[in-house]
């Protein structure tokens, strides 16, 4: 789904920005795996976005974590634009993005649902 087609260069840029908006940070490989994109195309778009100062990165060992740049000149309008584009996304994708489970639950452990 490419909602911001006339504004961004590629669909992968939109997906990356939506991912970083909801999850606040992410790695190139995790973003690529979430959307089923090639890791190479995601890395290229992350590099372009970082060159344009839209995102910033930080190294943690050998991993590079990306997040939206709060010092970007158009940070607030970009965030508002992404939130409005997010409304056009299916609820299943939004739920998957907001779920922060990164490792499997221990066998036999009861699930505590928070409401």
Q: Which domain holds residue 39?
A: 11-98
**Is residue 15 situated within a structural domain?**
yes
CATH number, residue 69: 1.10.10.10
Instruction: Note the Cα 37 to chain centre separation in Å.
Output: 13
Query: Would residue 114 count as lying in a domain?
Result: no
pTM assigned to the model: 0.79
Interval 53-99: pLDDT, tens: 999 999 988 889 999 999 999 999 999 999 988 888 888 888 888 87
Structural domain count of the chain: 1
Residue 85 lies in a domain: yes
Question: What pLDDT, on the 0 to 100 scale, is given for residue 101?
Answer: 63
Residue 20 has pLDDT above 90, yes or no: yes
In a domain, 107, yes or no: no
Per-residue pLDDT, 115: 46
Q: Helices in the chain by DSSP H: which ranges?
A: 11-23, 28-35, 39-51, 75-86, 91-98
- The pLDDT tens digits of the residues spanning 92-112 come to 888 888 877 666 667 777 766
So what's the pLDDT on residue 49?
Answer: 92
């Amino acid at each position: 789904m490419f909602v911001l087609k006339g504004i961004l260069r590629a669909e992968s840029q939109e997906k990356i920005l939506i991912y970083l908006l909801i999850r606040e940070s992410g790695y190139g490989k995790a973003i690529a795996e979430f959307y089923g994109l090639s890791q190479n195309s995601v890395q290229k778009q992350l590099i372009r976005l970082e060159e344009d100062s839209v995102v910033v990165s930080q190294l943690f060992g050998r991993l590079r974590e990306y997040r939206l740049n709060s010092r970007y000149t158009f940070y607030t309008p970009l965030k508002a634009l992404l939130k409005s584009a997010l409304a056009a996304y299916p609820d299943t994708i939004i739920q998957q993005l907001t779920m922060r489970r990164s490792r499997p639950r221990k066998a036999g452990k009861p699930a505590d649902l928070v409401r």
